[in-house]
């Protein structure tokens, strides 16, 4: 079952004059003339509600797999236990956003004038609707987010009063929670709005929050690393990424292009990762989008999730300090083995689901080959790409010895002058809002219930299996 059929598509009679169309196996509606995303959603939601209702009535009692004891102790890996429509992660193929791979997204999503990388606005439209947007639809989102980007004064004051030793992610999460003062969803719920209207206020909050996140993130960056200098004003003629890089203080066009790519590829990675699952779980309690996404960001801040890109650069920096300039393959091999024998992992390699090179790594590598082929750090990362997988296979412990997204992103950011490693996870967080909040809107539209799985004690499990 899929909200927007990614493998098979079938026609059904809509309640409004929408004509389903098909492209790349993705069910689509004829909404290209509509630029208001909320209006597009209003037409789609009744049809999707009916489809899922019908599917559950016919197959609700069907079994989809078994659960093993090891899965309960092993982080629930591989358990089919939740719905996520926005993206699907295949172990061999990597991520697909509503059925489209990253290279396909790079080909079909709208771009900025003169640019080549996809606009994150286009990806958000795709995640929410299952449709590849027109340029006009992506531009409409750019203007919407520019209009909604201002912060309330109490959030600005709070950010200005934070001590410099408070981690950027802690500041980011706190500011998002404080933005809850602006929540349409919380206000409407308190006033007794009917549950069929929840999605409308979830949508408004999500649009507001996505719009404000670059402003929050830029304010944190300027306070910590640029002596509290002004972020400047939002330009309504710029896209989301261009306004963000401008507020950060970077005017290099290729850095903005990199940010468009970065914010697109980090947006979603199906529903079971820590940040996406946290947002879904907290949202299932009908916490508003601000509180739900703030919780997700506390998960993203963990070293086994979003903080990993920072750890990659720390490890690369230590490698350079220990081995000097140009390094031979044999020196690298010894350094990698010493890392492993010291009880550490090689950061940036391996993934809980993927069993091939992460396509998010690949597209960043292609960006580097095109724009910074002679950068020493990029050359080192490329050299590691040739050596690390072989060492990990030789060690025999890694199920996936291939690089993930974190193995490359920090190198690109450093090349363009963004060298504050502690800040990198904030950039990840700005991007991850696109996926988390697209799913949040649909969770409220479909009336998904409070998530409450059954837990077991070890003693209870022993009795269950007769141990």
pLDDT 10s digits, 112-141: 999 999 999 999 999 999 999 999 999 999
358 tagged catalytic: no
Quote the mean pLDDT of the chain.
90
CB of 218 closer than 8 Å to CB of 430: no
What the block records as the tokens of 363 is 């597209």
Tell me which of 351, 371, 375, 408 is the catalytic residue: 351
Predicted pLDDT at 348 = 83
DSSP summary character for residue 54: H
How far are the Cα atoms of 17, 85, 134, 377, 439 from residue 20, in angstroms, in the given order? Answer: 10, 18, 16, 48, 22
Predicted pLDDT at 24 = 36
First to last CA, the chain: 37
190-218: average pLDDT: 98
371 tagged catalytic: no
406 tagged catalytic: yes
Predicted pLDDT at 303 = 85
Residue percentage of the chain with pLDDT more than 70: 93
Residue 429: name the closest of 172, 250, 126 by CA. 172
Predicted pLDDT at 440 = 98
Q: Is the per-residue pLDDT at 194 higher than 50?
A: yes
Please report the sign of the dihedral spanned by the C-alpha atoms of residue 274, residue 279, residue 283, residue 287: positive
Lowest mean pLDDT among 160-164, 252-256, 323-327: 323-327
Tell me which of 208, 280, 406, 408 is the catalytic residue: 406
169-184: average pLDDT: 98
351-371: average pLDDT: 86
CB of 283 closer than 8 Å to CB of 436: no
Predicted pLDDT at 1 = 36
CA separation for the pair 188, 173 (Å, rounded): 23
Predicted pLDDT at 29 = 56
Tell me which of 139, 305, 358, 408 is the catalytic residue: 305
User: What residues are paired with 94 via a beta bridge?
Assistant: 90
Contacts of 370 (CB under 8 A, 6+ apart): none
């Amino acid at each position: 079952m899929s909200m927007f059929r990614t493998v098979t598509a079938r026609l059904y009679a809509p309640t409004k004059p929408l004509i389903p169309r098909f492209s790349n196996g993705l069910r689509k509606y004829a909404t290209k003339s509509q630029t208001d995303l909320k209006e597009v959603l209003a037409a789609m939601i009744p049809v999707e509600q009916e489809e899922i209702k019908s599917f559950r009535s016919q197959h609700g009692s069907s079994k989809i797999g078994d659960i093993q004891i090891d899965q309960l102790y092993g982080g629930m890996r591989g358990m089919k236990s939740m719905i996520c429509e926005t993206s699907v992660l295949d172990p061999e193929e990597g991520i697909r956003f509503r059925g489209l791979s990253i290279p396909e997204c790079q080909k079909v999503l709208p771009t900025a004038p003169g640019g080549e990388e996809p606009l994150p606005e286009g990806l958000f439209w795709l995640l929410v609707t299952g449709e590849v947007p027109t340029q006009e639809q992506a531009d409409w989102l750019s203007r919407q987010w520019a209009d909604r980007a201002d912060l309330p004064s109490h959030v600005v004051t709070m950010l200005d009063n934070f001590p410099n030793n408070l981690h950027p992610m802690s500041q980011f999460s706190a500011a998002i929670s404080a933005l809850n003062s602006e929540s349409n969803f919380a206000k409407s719920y308190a006033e007794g709005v009917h549950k069929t209207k929840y999605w409308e206020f979830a949508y408004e909050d999500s649009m507001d929050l996505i719009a404000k996140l670059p402003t929050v993130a830029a304010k944190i960056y300027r306070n910590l690393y640029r002596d509290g200098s002004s972020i400047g004003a939002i330009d309504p003629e710029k896209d989301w990424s261009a306004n963000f890089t401008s507020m950060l203080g970077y005017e290099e066009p290729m850095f903005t292009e990199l940010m468009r790519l970065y914010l697109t590829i980090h947006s979603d990675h199906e529903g079971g990762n820590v940040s996406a699952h946290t947002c879904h779980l907290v949202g299932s309690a009908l916490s508003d989008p601000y509180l739900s996404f703030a919780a997700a960001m506390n998960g993203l801040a963990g070293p086994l999730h979003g903080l990993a890109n920072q750890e990659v650069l720390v490890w690369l920096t230590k490698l350079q300090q220990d081995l000097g300039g140009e390094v031979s393959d044999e020196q690298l091999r010894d350094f990698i083995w010493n890392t492993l024998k010291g009880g550490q992992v090689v950061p940036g390699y391996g993934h809980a689901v993927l069993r091939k090179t992460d396509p998010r790594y690949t597209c960043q590598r292609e960006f580097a080959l095109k724009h910074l082929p002679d950068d020493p750090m990029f050359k080192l990362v490329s050299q590691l790409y040739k050596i690390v997988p072989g060492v990990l296979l030789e060690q025999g412990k890694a199920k996936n010895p291939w690089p993930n997204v974190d193995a490359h992103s920090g190198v690109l950011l450093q090349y363009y002058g963004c060298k504050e490693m502690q800040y990198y996870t904030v950039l990840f967080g700005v991007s991850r809002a696109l996926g988390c909040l697209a799913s949040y809107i649909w969770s409220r539209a479909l009336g998904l219930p409070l998530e409450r799985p059954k837990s077991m004690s070890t003693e209870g499990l022993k009795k269950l299996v007769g141990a």
